[in-house]
Every structure is written in C-alpha cells, then in structure tokens.
Structure 1
C-alpha cells in the first residue's frame, strides 16, 4: 500500500494529459472522475464527457459548459485568444443544441502584460459574443508574478437554452456525416506561426462562433449527434463519437475538405491534418432523409459555405472509424494518442 502511494506521488502531469487524445481521456476517466461525485443536474452529466452538461428546470433545459484557453502565440492570423475563448464556449453550447444565452470569463495574466494587448483581446471577445447575441455578463481578473505564467489564460463559462438536447453519442446506422467546412486550418496556422513557415497561400485560423450554422441545421431537423473537432481534430472527434455510440463510421478521403495551404504545411511538417485542431467547424450526424436539406441550410450560413458530406454511420466495426483512401483502399483511423501541437486552443 505504501509503495503504491509512493509510486502515485512520483507521477507527474505531461502535455499529453491535456492534449485531447487517448491519454487525456484515460486520465479523466481513471483519475478525475473517480474523485468526483457524478450526480447529474439533468439528462447529461459529467460522466458523459460531452461538450457540456444539462440542467433541468421544469420544462426547460439549460446547457452549461466551461473551458480554459491557452494558445501560443496569443495573436494569430484570423483571430486571437479572446476570439478563441468566446467561440470555443459558444460552440460547446451549440454542439448540444443550446442557444447561447450568456457567458462569464476569468482571466489570469502575468505581471508586465501589455495593457494595449489586453484591450485588444477584450474588444475581440466583445465582438465575437455580440455576433451571436451572447453577452459577457460577469467575470474575474487576476495577475500572477512575472515568469510564473506564459502570458495569459482565459476561462470562459457559458449557459444556453435547448429545445432538444443533442449529444455526441446519438449516431445511428445509416446516418450521414457532415463536416461544416475545411479542416486543420486553426492548428496549421498556429504551427506555421511558431515555426516561421511561409507558404504561397497564407494560412488563416478558422476560429468562429458557429451558432448560426448549427441553428440552421437544427431547424431542418434530423440531427442525431454533433461534436466540434477541436483537440484531436476530425480523427479524434469521429473516434469519440463512434466509441460512445458503439457504431462504425466510414469516411471518404476524397470528400474531406482540406485547403491546399493546410495540406502543404501538413506534408512539410509530417503532421496529419485529420488530427489537427479546428476552432470553427462541427461534425454533424444526420438522418439520411434530412441530410441534403441540412447540408443546403448549412451552406447558406456564414461559416458553412464549404460544408460537405464525408461519410456515413454503419453497424459494422463498432467503435471504429474507417477511412476509404483516395486510391481505393481502406485503413483504420486510430484514436490519436495526444495532440501533435500543444498550446493551440
């Protein structure tokens, strides 16, 4: 007993524990969840490990979510940590069918942080929250000693109202899989900025609040499951959805929308774009009879113009994701172990 306690004390957190892959999921299940009372306040609780949780209030259902955001650099083409934090929380609400109502934020910066940069970040947060009518209504601000924090961390918490709860485990055989736009944009943009990679076509993050796009899909109906492919990318999101629903998913490589600039950067760095973080995309499972109508509705929205049907749900291979390659073969897309690029969301 003493030896086991000593062994546990010697273990330390690594970057992989927060990277969104298999290591993080195992850590949450085996360490965090066993120490927490898992009593739920609604239909979906912490043990579901979804994008948020639900709170039942009579005939109303609130969706509640919280997330911490850390990115390096803080400012990047297409956005900054402020836009990232607000978009991330709005999107987590949206993935469960929640219309964003209000948000709170807690910001921690290190001593010496630029006030001009802080003002710029606050403006970005305000513009993004106003875009979907989800005001920031309360918050907190802390300063740590210089050198004790790398710049800034923002934690955002959001509440939304759902007519119907959508989970990430509702897939059924026959459902079609839609991705709302090109993948890998955010992660590759951040990596390129860090590494100083210059391409003929500029990389721009896809960070965006998706409620308009998701609302359009929900109004059509037939949506069975949703997830935003953040840490772990499209690969990680699909694997998690398939595992939870105990179904298989087949996706077609030729149908996955990827920008040429993202593909070029991924080949240069040896990083699979299917495993790279996205901050303005959603994976949506839709009943086949409604799929074309949902796709049409999504394409009419600001952030859904490049949406495509990339595959379908099958009863075979429960828990697995199969990629039909461009040359006609098939291969298993295994759950990512971690994130190839930490500190990007």
Structure 2
C-alpha cells in the first residue's frame, strides 16, 4: 500500500482525481477568495474562467520525458491550453509562453521544443503573444517546465449551437448535464498516458503506442455546428473516470456508460492489462467527451467523425436520474461503479 502524507505534497496531489480535488478545495479555494464577481469564477473549477466575455486559462507542464512517441512538452503545452479554451465554448486567440529551464538543458532540445510549439500554434490557429524565461541551478528541476496561458472570446458558433438546447445555458460548463443527455467520446482512450509511461520506463510496447496529443478546437467547432452540445471536456489527468465523476457531481445526475462502446486500441488495452492499469483512469491529451441533447447526439457524432480527430468517435452512454453515481454496463452484462480515482496511475504525463 502506498502511504499518502497528510501534511506534505505528493506526486498524487498533481495527478487529477480526488487527492488533487481535496488539495484545491481545502487549501487553494479556502484561502484564495476572489474580490470580483466573474461570469465563470475560480470556484466553479471548470478548465477556464470567464471575465467580461474573455475566456482565460493557464497550465504548467512537467511531463517526463520531454519527448515521447507522438509528441513532446511543447506540443502538449499548446494543445492543452487551446483545448481548455475551446471546451468551455471559447475561440482561442493567443497564448503566453513561460519557460523555466534547468542549467545544462541542451539548446538543441530547446530548439526542437520551440519548433514543435510553433508548428502546433499554426495547427490550432493561435499565436504566442508574450512570454518569459527563467533559468535555475542544475538539479533544481527536471530540465524544463513550460507554462502556457491562453485568452479567447466567445465562439460565434456557440449561440447557434445553444438554439438546439431547451434550457438556460450560456457556456459549456461541467454543471450543464441533464438526464437523457448522450455522452460521446471523440476517439480511443488512454493513448497519451500509456505512450508517456512507455517512453519513460522503456517498456517493449513503446513503439506501438502513440500519444494522441493535438489541438481540438477545429473538432469542437464541428460539434457546435451540429448543435445541441451542452458540455465538452478533455479527459486529461484521471482520465474518463475522473471526468465523468466531475460531470455527475457538478450536475447532480447519474451517468451510465457501456464498456463495449468505449474505444480502446488493442495495443493500449494489452499494455494496461500487463501493468494492471485501468484505461479509464489514464490521461488523454487529444480526446474530448461531449454531452449533447438526445435529439442532436447522432448529428454531433456524424459531424465529428468527418474530421480526422474524431473518426473513431462513439456514443458511450447517457446521463440519468435513476441513480446518482457513475456506472458502467460491462461486456459480460454486469454493472460496475466507476469511482473518482485518487489520481492518474501514470504521474507526470502533462
């Protein structure tokens, strides 16, 4: 059994799930009391905040290793920040870039990461607007930490999307889910976390598993064009299990998902089984869960399947008022409760 210190920060406090949630609730939110009323405040714990129509988010990235099959810390930083803005209903405009570098970091590695940042910005249609650099003594950190903050405005497609929603919603918040809403995942799960773990530990399956890291704002635009979308969120730290529990808790509904509908690549399934890891708890960086009204869900599914990022999308379940938990109907016909994980089983994946 792993011992969790009650008075010290552990890696699990940064891995999503219940330990990170408790840290935020019992320390950060308890002490940081906002002095202004915001449209979407810090206390909502959505992936971005909103002030006077401006969408704002920030992320720090500590992935180990810096380079992995399918991506690197630079692509991860841009994609994660763009996706957080897009998921709440914003149109990403610009990013800041802050680099905290360890003395001795290879300039060749730094250039590779900056090239990746530039390429991913072009892919997402955003620019770096401002930034900062710091260097710390050798041994003070593990080579490089990247912070990206992002700003955006209300996506023009959001209002036309909400015309299909028969309830009062202004932004795509975690608390919008209602009984009957269908839940879509944009593709196979656990690719990113397993790719990073493979690169870090040198497992033999490293070459067969590729991270899914990518910006998803264009896929989200396709979903909004189809209409009826009420929630969007990327299942990063803590994976799909954590995301579904957050939706259920904030929306006060139950969720039923179906194991045979959840897409998982065979290479990922085999690696997770070998390591004793539940793919539902592993982080993703190029997938989103989308909740849509029952009458529009098939339209949303069809729309996102037309783009490369969503070609393997599936409707995996729905919200319910018959119970207040997250459950999964298994392949063999049983029902399994999906609890909020303590944290992602793979630390430092982002």
Q: Give the whole-Å Cα distance in 2 for the aligned partners of 1:207 and 1:217.
A: 19
Distance, in Å, in 1 between the alignment partners of 2:71 and 2:199 is 13
1:19 paired to 2:15: yes
Query: Residues of 2 paired with 1:239 and 1:11: CA distance?
Result: 26
CA contact (8 A) 1:41 1:54 kept: no
Q: Give TM-score, length-normalised by structure 1.
A: 0.94
**1:317: Cα distance to partner?**
1.9
Q: In structure 2, what is the equivalent of residue 36 of structure 1?
A: 32
Distance between the aligned counterparts of 2:109 and 2:287, measured in 1? 27
1:125 is aligned to 2:117: yes
**In structure 1, what is the equivalent of residue 339 of structure 2?**
334
Q: CA contact under 8 A between 2:198 and 2:206: conserved in structure 1?
A: no
Query: Which residues in structure 2 correspond to 1:2-17 (within 5 Å)?
Result: 11-17=7-13
Take 1:40 and 1:251, find their aligned partners in 2: how far apart are those partners?
A: 39
- CA distance 1:200–1:38, change in 2 (3 Å): closer
Q: How does 1:190-201 map to 2 (within 5 A)?
A: 190-199=196-205
- Residues 275/40 of structure 1: CA separation in 2 closer, same or farther (3 Å cut): farther
Alignment-derived partner of residue 6 in structure 1 = none
- Taking structure 2 as the reference length, the TM-score comes to 0.92
Give me the whole-angstrom Cα distance separating, in 2, the residues matched to 1:40 and 1:102: 24
88, 97, 106: which is aligned to 1:114? 106
Partner of 1:141: 133
Residue number among 171, 174, 189 corresponding to 1:183 in the alignment: 189
2:310 is paired with a residue whose SS is coil
1:126 positional shift: 0.7
- Cα RMSD of the aligned pairs, angstroms, is 1.2
Instruction: Give SS of 1:169's match.
Output: helix
Q: Does 1:223 align with 2:262?
A: no
- 2:132, 2:36 → 1: CA distance? 26
Number of matched pairs:
331
Identify unmatched segments of 5+ residues in structure 2: 1-5, 159-170
Q: Which digits, 9 at most, give the CA deviation of each residue in 1:212-234, with x for residues without a partner? A: 10011011110111111000001
- Which consecutive aligned stretches of 4+ in structure 1 deviate over 6 angstroms post-superposition? none
- Tell me the equivalent position of 2:161: none
Quick one: distance in 2 between partners of 1:53 and 1:281? 21
Distance 1:122 1:248 in 2: 43
Of 46, 55, 71, which aligns to 1:50? Answer: 46
Cross-structure match for 2:326: 321
For 1:139 and 1:125, the matched residues in 2 are separated by: 13
